[in-house]
Amino acid sequence: MKRRSEIPRLALLLAVFAAVAYGPALSLPFIGDDYIFLDKTRDASFTELWSFKNVDFGWYRPWSRELHFWLLQRVAGLHEVAYRVFGVMLWIVALCFYAAIVRRLASHRVAALATLGVASLALWGTPLVWISGSQDLWMLCFTMASTLLFVRGHIGWAILPFGLALLSKETAAVLPALLCGYVVLLERRRPSDAFRRTAHFWALVLVWLIVHPTLHVRLLSHPQVTRELENRPSSLITILVRTILSGLNVDVFPRPQEIGWVDALRVLASVVVLAAGVGVVMRTRRADDPQEGAYARQMALGRFAFLWMTVGWFPLFLPSIAWHAYYGCLGVFGAWLAMALWLQDRPRLAMAAIACLAFLRGAQASTRSSDWGTEWYQRRAGNMLSAIRDELYRQHPSLPPHSRVFLGHIPNNIGLIA
């Protein structure tokens, strides 16, 4: 397989998998927070998008929320499919950047295994089904772009996507620590050299911390008990265990409900797509990959993968942040780098593992959950809202201007309002 065709082929495979696994959810209506951002950006000017007053839910994310909805609303109107297709595109771009990074650090085989393993995770259900999940998708795109530029030696240019990542989600602030680890562990430079090469990243984080309108309250004040934090596990050990298990799709015991034969066939098709991708990758000869498989290099990559996990999952342990599996999406990139390094010489196990993960993803998507950060919750909310909308159109095909509609006996937790 030629190097130039590796990433495009991987992108095509990811697109097919996304269409099979998430296709039916693309037409669900807007859910919860989506309405807030649609409403506030409907008549907003471009300059108003960047106001420090845009701190809904205590966060400042003008790129991935205000600008995202502002642009798409002007291009696609209120067509939900367009918003979700764009989200899938962001997801594919982020994973392709990730594959390019791992390809440069290790080999094509490791890169493909890591990317397909990450793609099989159930935690993507929320950012792909929930349109406001654009915040995580933009953050991942920009952090991966910045990392790729950095490892390719474009250290100055790497600061630009990092700045946009900070404006997408606060989790991106851990990137300088990851880049320092790369310089020390893989370039084998001294820590002082690492800090010097990443000085502009640290400086930008410092400026961002100073000007951020709410972050100092989040970090320094005692966390207020909110409905969101009520769902946070009380034990840090529990958070650690569930976070690790989310990288294997077993953070929730799968109990699929109300699965029809169409749903079962779709899950089976998604398993076949990823398993076939692994099969193609494992047939490539190791001789085609760079001769960087020496024991010392593998150990260094393993240590870097562990650092990536640690840095990426660190924000989940902050007391002011709730826990949802998809909050750890940056850390699972490191986890799957480690697993791909171990699986690269075990073709049968690699295919079985990723096929099993794809199956568990489908099972978890149909497992009842009260956590809004799960695909089942988002699908249920979308289906309920779709039924309400259809019934409203049936009873009132048109309404006079300035009409008010009152809805009664609405189930709780369906995302009708945020």
SS (H, E, C) 101-126: HHHHHCCHHHHHHHHHHHHCCHHHHH
Residues 209, 203: Cα–Cα separation, whole Å = 10
* Tokens linked to 213: 């309108």
Average pLDDT, 10 consecutive residues per value, the chain (418 residues): 76 98 95 94 96 93 98 96 98 98 96 98 97 98 99 97 98 98 97 97 97 85 65 89 96 89 95 96 66 77 98 92 94 98 95 97 94 92 90 90 86 70
Cα-based distances in Å from 209 to 67, 203, 216, 217: 21, 10, 7, 11
Q: Which residues on neighbouring strands pair with residue 256, listed in sequence order?
A: 367
What is the model's pLDDT at position 288?
A: 47
Residues 54, 300: Cα–Cα separation, whole Å = 42
What is the model's pLDDT at position 1?
A: 47
Residues 123, 380: Cα–Cα separation, whole Å = 16
* Tokens linked to 173: 């602030």
Residues 204, 290: Cα–Cα separation, whole Å = 35
Instruction: Tell me the CA end-to-end span of the chain in Å, nearest whole number.
Output: 48
Residues 250, 234: Cα–Cα separation, whole Å = 20
* Tokens linked to 395: 């009873």
What is the model's pLDDT at position 71?
A: 98
Q: Is the CB of residue 328 less than 8 Å from the CB of residue 288?
A: no
Residues 234, 216: Cα–Cα separation, whole Å = 23
With the C-alpha atoms ordered 233, 238, 241, 245, is the resulting torsion angle positive or negative? negative
